Structure 1
Amino acid sequence: MKKFWKWKNQAQTETTPAQRTLYLNGTIAEESWFDDDVTPQLFKEELNSGSGDITVWINSPGGDCVAAAQIYNMLIDYKGDVTVKIDGIAASAASVIAMAGTKVLMSPVSMMMIHNPMTIAMGDKAEMEKAIEMLSEVKESIMNAYEIKTGLSRAKISHLMDAETWMNANKAMELGFIDDVLSREEVSDDDSQPAVPVMFSETAVMNSLMGKIAEKCRINARPAQPDKPQGRSVTELREQLNTIKKFI
């Protein structure tokens, strides 16, 4: 399996303490960790091969939820403090790993995305029902991580996941998914560009788009036309009568 993580360790000096940095880039496990004893053990051994606080940089679109769950648990159990820094994107399973941080920070230009778990299933009705039940349980487990970190109600978290919600740093901090924004001093110095919380919901955007399409395609009913008088007008009858009189 191709490793999606990389360690960078800096030895202690007279002026600085030892630093351990973990980089999580790209897809979280190109192959599932389900029924894999080797890869999770390798990650755990590298994690516990040193001591002291850890900084975890995340830039990942997500991936295998089993791998994310195990990494989350390993970071939660780690003896030192874990500072998570999101410098690009923490989407899907990667957002779950981010919740393990003792402190979670985002770059002012990064994004976080949460959504419902997905899978591929094949089989008869019974197999489809098993897949649906499994996805429901996976969602509940993911919600546990979000609930512990944010303090939001499970109903609120479920709604955000249903809508496939994208958050910028300020919105993520407002909702409790992160603790602070990286380089916040530089951001606050620029009064001309206030920090605005932004949250993107795929469901809301699709509903808005469909509404606009429906508005464009709508055929307005023709206005009712006034009933035209039936027969001939009095003037026409008088002209015809005068014409007849000329021949009498």
Structure 2
Amino acid sequence: MENKVIKARCELVDNNGLKELVLYGPVVNGKAWYLDSDEYICPQNVMAALKEADGEDIIVRINTNGGDVFAGISIYNILKDYKGKVTVKVDGMAASAGSVIAMAGDKILMGVGTMLMIHNAWTFAAGNADELRKVADDLDKISDSISNIYMTRFSGTIEELKALLNAESYLTAEESIALGLADEEIEEEPAEPTEPKEPEEDPEEIKNSIIGKYIAMRKESDKAQNKGSFYMNKFR
């Protein structure tokens, strides 16, 4: 899936008396020469915004494709330490490091059509065999640290979570709620009375169905990639 650019925005706004921390765009560690704005989501900007909020309850609005994993972890912990109540509202996408940040909410709300995306840590690397093995080991440790954050909310086992991370899973609001990664979908008022809802399925069955679906999708994707690279798998 192609990632679309989301305009950078990290600021505290007043919305009819409610403090809202708007986190839109890439997650980075700080201002760099190649960035075209000072408004990127970074720990320093988040800390400044929370200082301005002065302990009042806040709504954190998220729309991001993610970015730097350690910046995401840092922002997660900054929000967890905040004195006021933190309600996270996903406005569009909370992907990768953005989904880590979302887990800081005392309550996590997802708007209509929104998604979470979770996956294992990845990076670009170059070097000899020993250096690349070390990179792989480091990525495993980073993925474990991310897993620990998701597990503060995830309703299943660590093995089930890792299966979803391996599959690079795009989760709808309904799926996120079923897995414990969100609390509520913000639904629009229906234009007309709707039919009574069917009795709800067993939560465990729903969770197993979601995990099974994403594992199957990943296997199909791996098969397609392996087929396409069958004659290109030798070093020269």
Read off the aligned partner of 2:22 and give its amino acid letter: Y
**SS of residue paired to 2:122:** coil
Q: TM-score, normalised by structure 1?
A: 0.70
Read off the aligned partner of 2:66 and give its amino acid letter: G
Partner residue in 2 for 1:41: 44
For the structure 1 residues 205 and 104, does the alpha-carbon distance in structure 2 shift closer, same or farther, using more than 3 Å as the test?
Answer: same
Counterpart among 9, 18, 30 of residue 14 in structure 2: 9
For the structure 1 residues 86 and 117, does the alpha-carbon distance in structure 2 shift closer, same or farther, using more than 3 Å as the test?
Answer: same
Q: Which has the larger radius of gyration?
A: 1
Unaligned runs of 5+ in 2: 1-6, 32-37, 225-236
What is the CA distance between 1:185 and its match in structure 2? 5.7
Read off the aligned partner of 1:120 and give its amino acid letter: F
Q: Is the 8 A contact 1:113 1:167 kept in 2?
A: yes
For the structure 1 residues 123 and 33, does the alpha-carbon distance in structure 2 shift closer, same or farther, using more than 3 Å as the test?
Answer: farther
**SS of residue paired to 1:105:** strand
What is the CA distance between 1:99 and its match in structure 2? 0.3
Aligned counterparts of 2:112 and 2:82: Cα–Cα separation in 1: 28
Deviations 1:68-106 (A, max 9, x none): 011100000000100001121111111100000000011
Aligned residues: 202
| CA-atom RMSD in angstroms | 3.4
Aligned counterparts of 2:43 and 2:64: Cα–Cα separation in 1: 18
**SS of residue paired to 2:153:** helix
Aligned counterparts of 1:210 and 1:103: Cα–Cα separation in 2: 35
Instruction: Output aligned runs, 1:99-178, within 5 Å.
Output: 99-178=103-182
For the structure 1 residues 183 and 208, does the alpha-carbon distance in structure 2 shift closer, same or farther, using more than 3 Å as the test?
Answer: same
For the structure 1 residues 140 and 183, does the alpha-carbon distance in structure 2 shift closer, same or farther, using more than 3 Å as the test?
Answer: same
Aligned counterparts of 1:28 and 1:188: Cα–Cα separation in 2: 40
Q: Is the 8 A contact 2:154 2:161 kept in 1?
A: no
Unaligned runs of 5+ in 1: 11-15, 213-248
For the structure 1 residues 188 and 144, does the alpha-carbon distance in structure 2 shift closer, same or farther, using more than 3 Å as the test?
Answer: farther
Q: Does 1:26 align with 2:29?
A: no
Read off the aligned partner of 1:27 and give its amino acid letter: P
For the structure 1 residues 145 and 186, does the alpha-carbon distance in structure 2 shift closer, same or farther, using more than 3 Å as the test?
Answer: farther
